[in-house]
Structure 1
Amino acid sequence: MPTFIGRLYLLLNLKYRRSRDLVNQHLYRMIEQELQETPMMRAERKKLSLIASLIASLQQDEKLEASKTEEDKKGLSRAEVLDEMLSFLIAGYSTTTAALTWFIHLMSIHPEVQNKVKKELAQYNMQSLSVEQLDSFTYLDCVLREMFRFVPPGFGTLRTLTVDDRLPSTGAELRKGDLVLIGIHNMGRDRRYWSGPVDPDQFYPERFLVEGNDANNNKAASISFGGGHRQCIGQDLARFEVKAICARLMQRVTFGDGGPEVNSGEYAGDEGDAVTPKRMGVTITFDSDYST
């Protein structure tokens, strides 16, 4: 279906327009509240808040900046700041959703791993978990790190070269302006970086029980959120929310394998900015002591 049809539908959808206007009004109020702070307070908040840092780049005179060429413009217009704030609020939801989907699938086909996660959580029964308690779940950490290595929610990331370069291992010449695809999925399965006794094509959380790199596993090759100064700005939040939700699920339910015909996993193909299972059919059993 052509993309303009979807955009046209949203423009004609009264409920969507009302929801959009409500969100925009709230974000504009946030901008105004930030601008009312003293310069000293705003300077301090800029160090601690992404939103404050973004608003600090607001143009002082939008009409003047609009008359300039793109190269000469400075700062962001209110509309551009609003778009960036929306990105902060909603960006990554699809990749987080994909990660949770893969977690459910992997738990259903690896009951021994699921049981170990539940055993680690058992001491807290059904109670709400604090941040400190979440941080203490070492095995769940390993499961999630292995999940992001084994089935990253994105196949790769693109980078544009700013200078000419040469790959030392192959001698391949790269030119300024070339677009390079970094294969996150491929790096997570490359036997040059994962040469331990367990094949990298196998889901094995225990490979992450050893902190840092060991002789067999190069943890730097697992870059689901990118690397360097352009890595995902929201990765800490994404890891935390995925861990919190997975822990809560494991406190309450057990996922079972629905069989190879409906729960084979595989990749759904190009479905947007996240890679999801093509076939996922699981059974869900509420644990016996679940009472709320």
Structure 2
Amino acid sequence: MSKKIINAKPHLEPFLKEGDKFRIGFGSNSLTTDGVAYSDLRELIKGNLSELLLMGRKGPLKENIAGKYVRKQPENKHQILKHIKYTRKDGANIEYDRIFEVWEKELLHEFRLKLYRGVSPQEEVLLLFKEMTYDPTDTMALFKAKAAINIAYYLGDHFQLYDENLNPLLKITSTFGRKLLNRGYATVNEKLEAIKEEYFGKGTSTNDSGNSYRFSVLKEFNITDVFDGKGGFNEYLLFEFANDNIAILENLRNGNATFIFDLSKFDREKPLDKTTAKKDESFKLRIIHTNINQWRDILSGFLKKRDEGDEAFVLSE
């Protein structure tokens, strides 16, 4: 089973304004079975290829090369003759011609999308499509974004939006720094940099690698607010899920843990660190970033997926 979206717009408009440049991609740390089996994809990750034209025998990879076909308007059926040939269970060879009635179809699009390798400011190896421009009225551009997202799901089990510097995009409603507060929108990296400057001064850096998969998973749930972490969690982001009464402190870099709290008991202004957090009355659980699938399963026990109606991603075989 793989995820598949049917409309790109609700996945783009919370993070982009008309005219914004963005890239669709996914992290290389959490590939699907199909992604792992794609030998050329592994070569792209290693840096042995500069680009990869995506092709395959099924799903969005087949559609990327063969094109997407829809019923021709006005709808009409026509007859085709097919030669049927097979061996029956008793060993008899069966062979005959049969006429089928099928819908006439026409080509909707054929994008022949390519993937490129990049490295995020969090030092994560990313697999990215070419830069796009957001236009909520451009149907073909939305089709292209949809195709890219579905390929990302097929190969990487998640997708992420990035700016031109490969920072993951995040809509925010509250920020730590007044500069970001006035902007209304900011990247995750801008938020982290603001926190570093406030607590540590300029020039602070780490060598930890990022993990866009965890961030992508969190967005599958109904995030109602996002804040910068404080005190001992100054390099974390605080995600609030009011509908689930849950608050989560999460760091986008590997080698950290996820802290889950009861939102109704959680005091956002209370200075906590990784020791005192576990003694706080709001504390529920700490999840170490080791097994990504187990991490996701545990989160699903606390959070309900977003209800996006007909425009949500659906599971397809």
Q: Which has the higher strand share?
A: 2
Q: Which has the higher helix share?
A: 1
> Higher relative CO (CA 8 A, sep ≥ 6), structure 1 or 2?
2
